[in-house]
Chains A and B, each alone.
Chain A
């Protein structure tokens, strides 16, 4: 039948803990969550671990397997070498409750801070009409199973507790994008809100969130970049906005977009942008009430560049950061493995 394999599992609670070693039977076709269940049934009945559907649909069994944020139920044992030790640790970005269970209330707090869908006034239930081509963009983001792996891997908050207050994280950027692209949503300030209240400016598009998404949502390309790049257009051009609401996408001129070209690697779909913006040259960014500016493309030679930081290593030394994030101040990062978030190594889009 099965073979014995070596596992290392972090056990402990908020007071601290340690990796413990286990030898567990593994059978053909099993996933990491099966092994945790076998541990519970045979060796450690009180090993804490969240799970529900065991089918990759509920997003409960998020954990770090050999250092990678994964769903336990979606990680096949056959993806490891026969003699490989599998190390399982809790999500690092959130406080540990016990063993593999972390306190993910950060995410639920951010969910509450994201403005909800605003139904169009005067449209009765049953009278909503939308085209499939228009709902599909938002539907991509509604695939999200809220496993919070993107939140966990995002280096803006991973090991940076101080950024949590100002930063909602990729999960809530796609929520904002979803509502922004919703054909009937009545609010028009989703992008501005994401910039000014959700801390989207802190994101420097390293695509780590996209990489860990078990639903393969193109978080960076299809949500964050369009939300960053089009914010200027929409802010200044109500006609563009109106046109987008009135016409279906396939009825708009050209590719229907009115934004600067994206020069970042692997950008697809709406984020690609038109080769030139037609209606105006570069404009200065808006100054907020407190006299500061949101993070913008102002430091770049072109409007709508790929990242406020260009190709720089993130994070920059604090003295060189060209913007003032909302308090608290961004700390200097120790140059550890988590700073390694360059845009290199991501495969080219079409």
Chain B
């Protein structure tokens, strides 16, 4: 196999993924003076980030001046059930406002407050109105803003050099199939152009993974075809580790009817703005599902909950605004108890709560989407909703400050959904858009710095390229092989049915067995139709990534014998403080099998843990940890936060 005819490029930094995290990373690498390539699996500007509706969480305090990074940090840790990497949560809460303000200098137009600042809205799990938003199309605004910023940098380069691509180039519709190493160091990336099927080799000392999530391994998902866990798999094969892969977020309210919109999300702001959940008997059931740890913050009567929308300081929040895993589980229980709709969902109703005009004004694209896609008028009738695979909290284990991947590999960075740790066991709505900005920037910055620290450029070896070519072409050599679409459906069935929202030991063991069988079948997958824009071939190549990541999820789900955030074990329904001390870390062993090990969760610094009250911590921490907490001197809880509302004031 000759590799001489493969198109070669030399870059300082290669960013794989052109969603929010990838684009933000690329901007930063380019601003640091590095020649930067952006690899986009789809066209430029189509990334899954466009789907984010609610907003980007940042404690700017524009709507409620009591908000600050400490409150945001606390909400994030609570949401993640204290399994978050505290340092990532801290950096995220501190830096999110700057990242949002920066977007305005790129031309973003957020909705405004009366005094002309960026408006912020309420969202599940956030103590104060915190989400910068643009109607319900915040993700689109974000991706378009970053896309246009990249274009403007290219225009600057054009003015200077006469070439738009001189310092930053977008390779659209290009898929990376392999990372190439020189020893333990990243040396480049190998992939193909979807359009022509021709191969491409990018030599670069630093690679940033920003490939998003893994949802395509599930039957009902809000994720697009791109979400096949490419970055997770590339990282594993390069010697990096994955963390917390058992934690997948099932969005509580995806559409379940009609079929053409199955899996499409109904943004949580529908609930933030007054939407309520009812079962088929018409009961507003969320009041029955408030966990003890949240009792203090949530209303226990409909009357108090309804008062909260207008007077949040003197009433507790409606239980519809519980963190999304609680809502997902509540819906699942209602449906399993036979109180769901025919299509297996519950009813989400705004039509009886707000005038039609307010609904179309506040939720324009939601209204438009359902009217057009399903002929459902949300101002007139309730929506049928249920849990949908939405987001993976787990991902590449990274060093929090630099986003450098852990494990044996050097020169590999990860940001956004593909990285793990930041969100712990569950992500709060709105924290993903801010996450990808904060850590996207950090990834770009540190990848650029890493290239400066190298004394010599790592080299790609020809034999590695040859074997990458052979692997990529293999499905085309087997025209009579298994149909990739059938294989994908079978994988989705295994993951959806056996490693879904509610998990059991027996089913997980079964799933692992079936995944092994699928592995053998995927090795025999075939594709017909040549190399030019051939979706069958592309899927055949994606399958091995989906499979290896699914195996990590199933293994970790079997190992973690408790229920926490995005991981619910029917046989271990309680949260266990001992398990809070443990991260599950996956790596590949020499034979390419997934190896799982337990690693301790880093201990929070004193001044951070002091932001919580003892009574809250005692629900999460072991007795030994509580003893340590008691030994710390100084105020705790709200008293440790300047400007926070004190107990007496709240009454």
Contact = CB atoms under 8 A, between A and B. Distances in A.
Given A29-B258, A135-B111, A46 B529 contact: yes
Interface in B148-198: 148-149, 151-152, 154-155, 158, 164, 172, 195
B459 interface: no
Contact of A104 (B43, B372, B535): B43
A292 interface: no
Interface stretch (B46-54, B349-357, B400-408): B46-54
B101 A182 contact: no
Contact of B368 (A99, A104, A116, A216): A216
A57 B535 contact: no
A242 to B, nearest CB: 19
Interface string A169-205: 0000000000100100100000000000000000000
A139 B145 CA distance: 12
Contacts of B527: 45-46
B483 interface: yes
A45 B264 contact: no
Nearest to A108: B44
Interface string B240-282: 0000000000000000011111001000000000000000000
Interface stretch (A125-133, A155-163, A312-320): A125-133
Interface string A47-76: 111111111111110000000000001101
Interface in B522-550: 527-530, 532-537
Nearest to B197: A98
B50 A58 contact: yes
Interface stretch (B28-36, B134-142, B309-317, B587-595): B134-142
Interface in B119-147: 119, 134-135, 137, 140-141, 144
A271 B308 CA distance: 42
Interface string B346-370: 0000000000000000000100110
B140 A49 contact: no
Contact of A146 (B45, B141, B264): B45
Interface string B96-107: 011001101111
Contacts of A293: none
A45 B527 CA distance: 8
B154 A53 contact: no
Contacts of A321: none
A48 B533 CA distance: 6
A155 B155 CA distance: 29
A143 B105 CA distance: 19
A74 B134 contact: no
Given A48-B533, A56-B373, A30 B224 contact: no
B109 interface: yes
Interface string A19-60: 000000001111100100000111001111111111111111
B535 A142 contact: no
A117 B148 contact: yes
Contacts, number: 181
B224 A129 contact: no
B150 to A, nearest CB: 10
A267 interface: no
A305 to B, nearest CB: 31
Nearest to A133: B112
Contact of A60 (B46, B154, B365, B489): B46
B112 A130 contact: yes
Given A13-B532, A46-B528, A125-B104, A53 B260 contact: no
Interface residues of B, number: 73
A137 B164 CA distance: 30
Interface string B458-478: 000000000000000000000
Contact of B46 (A42, A52, A98, A119): A52
Contacts of B48: 52-53
A60 B173 CA distance: 12
A216 B489 CA distance: 35
A31 B373 contact: yes
A16 B110 CA distance: 46
B115 interface: yes
A48 B101 contact: no
A73 B257 CA distance: 15
Nearest to A45: B536
Contacts of A78: 375
A111 interface: yes
Contacts of B600: none
Contact of A101 (B60, B152, B369, B533): B533
Nearest to A248: B116
A97 interface: yes
Contacts of B45: 146
Contacts of A41: 483, 485-486, 489
A27 B485 CA distance: 19
Contact of A125 (B98, B225, B259, B536): B98
Interface string B301-324: 000000000000000000000000
A135 B226 CA distance: 33
A46 B479 CA distance: 12
* Chain A CB within 10 Å, residue with most, of B164, B372, B535: B535
B101 A125 contact: yes
A138 interface: yes
Contacts of A143: 137, 140, 365
A131 B528 CA distance: 56
Interface string B531-572: 011111100000000000000000000000000000000000
Contact of B532 (A98, A129, A182): A98
A45 B483 contact: yes
Given A56-B369, A98-B532, A108-B44, A132 B195 contact: no
B483 A112 contact: no
Contacts of A182: 107, 109
Contacts of A139: 109, 134-135
A16 B412 CA distance: 43
Nearest to B372: A74
B533 A97 contact: yes
Contacts of B155: 112, 115-116
A54 B369 CA distance: 11
B295 interface: no
A98 B109 contact: no
A60 to B, nearest CB: 5
B374 interface: yes
A46 B51 contact: no
A116 B46 contact: no
A165 interface: no
A139 B161 CA distance: 33
Contacts of A52: 42, 46-48, 224-226
A53 B110 CA distance: 23
B345 to A, nearest CB: 14
Contacts of B164: 112
A56 B141 CA distance: 15
B529 A45 contact: yes
Nearest to B156: A116
A103 B48 CA distance: 21
Interface of A: 13, 27-31, 34, 40-42, 45-60, 73-74, 76, 78, 97-99, 101, 103-104, 108, 111-112, 115-117, 119, 125-126, 128-132, 135, 138-139, 142-146, 179, 182, 185, 214-216
Given A104-B43, A108-B44, A112-B151, 19 more contacts: A29-B258, A34-B259, A40-B536, A45-B529, A48-B533, A48-B535, A53-B224, A58-B50, A99-B533, A111-B151, A115-B155, A125-B98, A126-B97, A126-B98, A129-B116, A130-B109, A131-B112, A138-B109, A142-B134
Interface of B: 42-48, 50-51, 60, 97-98, 101-102, 104-107, 109-112, 115-117, 119, 134-135, 137, 140-141, 144, 148-149, 151-152, 154-155, 158, 164, 172, 195, 224-226, 257-261, 264, 365, 368-369, 372-375, 483-486, 489, 527-530, 532-537
Q: Which 5 A-B pairs have the closest CB atoms?
A: A46-B529, A117-B107, A29-B258, A116-B152, A45-B536
7 contacts: A28-B258, A31-B260, A52-B225, A58-B51, A60-B43, A129-B116, A216-B368
